[in-house]
Amino acid sequence: MTNRTLVIILLLTLIFCSLAAQDELILPYDATSLTDEQRAMNPTYLAYPTSIADQMPLQNCGSNYTPMPFTINADGDQVYFSPGNLQYNAARGAHLCADGTTQPGTWRFAEHQYDYVGDATNGNVYWNGVKCDNSLISATYDGWIDLFSWGTSGWNSGANAYQPWATSSTESDYYPSGAASNSLTGAYANADWGIYNQIGSDPAGTWRTLTYDEWYYLFNTRENAANLRGQATINGVIGFLLMPDGWTASSGISFKQGTDVGFSTNSYTLTQWEAIEASGVVFIPASGMRLGYNMGLVQLYGYYWSTTAYTDMFAWYFYFNSDEAKLYGYGARYSCFSVRLVQDIKRHNRFSVAENRQVKFSPGNLQYNAALGSHLCADGTTQPGTWRFAEHQYDYVGDFRQGNVYWNEEKCNNYSPSETYDGWIDLFGWGTSGWDSGANAYQPWSTSDNGIDYYPGGDKSNNLTGTYANADWGVYNQIGSDPAGTWRTLTCEEWTYLFDTRDNAANLRGQAIVNGVNGFLLMPDGWEVPLGISFTAGNKLNFEDNVYSLAEWEDILKPSGAVFLPAGGQRSGSTVLDIQTCGRYWSSSQATNLTAYFGFYASRSYAGCSGGWYGNFGFNVRLVQDVE
């Protein structure tokens, strides 16, 4: 923060504190009831338009905002931003809260991203033909406000000041449960505006506020972060732009990135903004701040809260003006700043496999090339060959007639695996990770026809877990650049839970054709059919019941988290069968004397985890990674 900025803030603080000391400045919520004396005291703050109707903005035609993902941490968690800043009207209706109570007032998002309430002279939000004004805040004000002290969701957090209309100038009044160290998370999450309140028609808990760490990662650390931000002016309103992950400028639109480019550098008309907004760009207006009943810095500065406590006096916030944009800790908690909420993208890569246990699937089926290089293993040894995941989820090796995997311009083939074959295979006998488990057949290229040869430790009761976990392909081997132990194979119980038991399981699976390949779709927890496609759920469908082009897969289904298991067939010895007829995927669980469990499907046929098959048969392997 520059010296000039510090001086301005200090001067404004002195002015605001001086004004707050004048009792007469406690304003009525009805603008028409202001006395001449009140107007004379501070014309800058108390002046109202002589003709409200003449200064009304054009009626809005609806927002063109298309939510797009923003990455907020190193784990790849992503959020959507709300379609506008948070607003509250104390006198309008009531809303439901996370604790089941009904609280006064209505919460909503601004109708446009560039909307801000401001004060008597600045702002573009109107209600019942009257301009809204943050300085008229009260428990009965029938107008919208959009500047809030920290943690003022309306939930009684144990703080002295917790209502949206709070105006106390004592920092400690805003401590959840009276402790300065408490953030608006965990036990005090209801002090977060989005967690506690119904907003519009969205139930409590749909939205939340970013933490300091999340603001920091989004602003500074995510891929290409420095090129995805910058000051701007939209439809005459100054503010700051945040671009979604992977964003590129549309044709005919220029954008200069940076945190010191000035508000006028990126200036867009309403028509230009509508095109930019449709690409998921977020605009946060410079809404200024409020101290007590007094407004300042409107259309000069933007301040946006995080949920993270800083010191006894302060909480973290995101800040910008025309010269800089940074994250700071010294925002006094009684300061009233803007709130821009986010919605966690339901982990598009998360699948429940047991109660309170989730995994994410590997990006494709497991493949192995015996003649290509070598890899590190869990026991510290180096083993021949290279393991990788298929380049696409719809890739399968098949045999010399069917399949879509090539290497050195030659079609790959499961027909004759060997320890010298320079091509990719993707059908493996049970437990053939390459670790000497005590089984007679344990190498990826094993083709023994005797199921007994595949027993880890020579015992039919042993699973690919515990003492014999290294017999699991993902546990033992480096796969691509992922170290040994990054991935693993599902147990039979986990396959069953995933297919049949998890919440809404029956609607999250079904046969399909993707890019001309027959297979089976599994959708992540909480998945909803994305716009632009249809999906017929079921477990005994024809493959043709769900047919998707490459574009539909790449642009819609894959980004939504769908997992596709191609019908790669099976191998018996050196013979490959049932290609594009059925899919069999190993579990890590033994079944009977000679068999192990596997996930199975075919056209109009399905079993979440089949009763078992001989370990000498070569099936596909799709690995998973445990997530918190």
Q: Measured in whole angstroms, how far is the alpha carbon of residue 443 from the centre of its chain?
A: 40
Phi, psi for 18 (deg, rounded to 5): -65, -45
- 388, 365 in Cβ contact below 8 A? no
pTM exceeds 0.75 for this model: no
Is the pLDDT at 436 greater than 80, yes or no? Answer: yes
DSSP helix/strand/coil, 177: helix
607-624 mean pLDDT: 81
In 3D space, the residue among 489, 483, 486, 464 whose CA is nearest the CA of residue 376 turns out to be: 483
Residue-wise DSSP of 173-188:
GG-GGG-TT--SSGGG
Closest CA to 247 of 225, 262, 263: 225
Give the residue from 148, 151, 92, 126 showing the smallest Cα distance to 287. 148
Nearest to 211 by CA among 183, 188, 182, 242: 183
Among residues 310, 307, 314, the alpha carbon closest in space to that of 333 is found at 314
Cα–Cα separations (whole angstroms), residue 346 to 167, 251, 267, 300:
36, 31, 34, 36
DSSP state of 173: G
Residue 479 has pLDDT above 50, yes or no: yes
C-alpha 564: how far from its chain's center? Answer: 21
The number of residues making up the chain comes to 628
Residues 486-523: pLDDT tens digits? Answer: 999 999 899 989 989 999 999 999 999 999 999 999 99
pLDDT in tens, 104-128: 999 999 999 999 999 999 999 999 9
Identify the band that residue 321 occupies on the pLDDT scale cut at 50, 70 and 90. very high
Q: How confident is the model at residue 416 (pLDDT cuts 50, 70, 90)?
A: confident
Place of tokens 């709300």: 82
Contact status, residue 405 vs residue 414, Cβ threshold 8 Å? no
**What is the tens place of the pLDDT at every residue in 163-206?**
999 999 999 999 999 999 999 999 999 999 999 999 999 999 99
Pairing of strands 237-242, 229-234: antiparallel
**pLDDT of 241-286, one tens digit each?**
999 999 988 767 889 998 888 999 999 999 999 989 999 999 999 9
Q: What is the largest CA-CA distance in the chain?
A: 99
- Residue 550 token pair: 């490459």
